Amino acid sequence: MKTYNNLYGQICSMNNLANAWRNARKGKTKKKYVAEFEQDTRENLLNLRRELLNQTYKPKSLVNFILRDPKTRKISKSDFRDRIVHHALVRVIGPIFDKIFIYDSCANRIGKGNLFALKRFDKFKRKITDNLFKEAFCLKADIKHYFQEVDHECLLKIIKQKVTDEKVIWLISQILKNSSSENKSMPLGNLTSQFFANVYLNELDYFVKHKLKSKYYIRYVDDFIILHKSRIQLKIWKLRIEEFLREKLKLELHPDKSRIILLSRGIDFVGFRNFYYFRLLRKRNIRNMERKIGLFINGDILELKFIEIFQGWNAYSKWADSYILRREISDCLTCFKEKTI
């Protein structure tokens, strides 16, 4: 396996840090913390570069808050200067790892995402069922408490298989240490956490594709599916995956969210309920939109903000068979506007 050294200078270069700053500020130019940093951008970037080169850099404490949209999650927010470092790191080592990721690792990658995963699922579904004429099965699985359970020592060991630059490993260790005092977990909300999530589970991807020889496997972060004509084969693979996760990655499958399902019954994957001939939005997604409509009608969400939310939801919901639902919601909003004029 090809390894990479002498990467730290690239990460710390002024050009890379400037590009990282531009990436970190996208969509956040009106934020107070961005404006404060940009009162003297060049000097702040030079100071950051100096700390990195001298290896005196230390991330600031994370700011934690709870997000309920729709399920409750703890989000950890890094300081803006630390986000610049995250972007600088991923800009350099990201392409190195992306080359070895499997094609059907779909999350947080350029050219991939939800829609890509859905298209791959549809393609695999047709192949495994002889163009929907036969029945097949799906192992639908989820890693239990994935981001909280990622082992730092194990993650660094995986990274060192490709990156041998000790200074880069030191920087990654600084970022990981900032998230936990127990040598475990990665904070939701960090760019590096999204990247490391793929690096860590790339080991599972290789196991499923090259050891189990599964042809129809797709992973989106810690949520993955395997399609096969035999339920028995999927049961055997499920046991072997559980053993691999436990022994190699110190993880386990979620007992309530990991099961083998008849494909025609519909598979809940990347936000949609996928059936043979149609696709539906998750009920949770619909309830969440209805809740936001209620907040807007009650005046708890400003109109411009709601329009932004609704346009995003409308574009997302078009991936499902949702024409009637979208028309009903649009009619409801039109009626509300007419009453308020």
Distance of CA 11 to the CA centre of its chain: 23
User: 127: phi > 0 → left, psi -120 to 50 → alpha, else beta; which?
Assistant: alpha
| Spatial CB neighbours of 57, under 8 Å, sequence gap ≥ 6 | 48, 51, 85, 171, 174
- Residue 335 in tokens: 């009626």
Helix (H) or strand (E) holding 138: strand 137-142
Claim: this prediction has a pTM higher than 0.75: yes
- Per-residue pLDDT tens, the chain, 341 aa: give them: 789 999 999 999 999 999 999 999 998 988 999 999 999 999 999 999 999 999 999 999 888 777 766 566 777 889 999 999 999 999 999 999 999 999 999 999 999 999 999 999 999 999 999 999 999 999 999 999 999 999 999 999 999 999 999 999 999 999 999 876 678 889 888 999 999 999 999 999 999 999 999 999 999 999 999 999 999 999 999 999 999 999 999 999 999 999 999 999 999 999 899 999 999 999 888 988 888 888 888 888 888 888 888 898 999 999 999 999 988 888 887 877 666 65
The single residue listed with the structure tokens 């004029």 is 341
Residue type, 34: V
| Residue-wise burial string across 109-123, b where 16 or more C-beta atoms lie within 10 A, e elsewhere | eeebebebbbebbee
Total residues belonging to the chain: 341
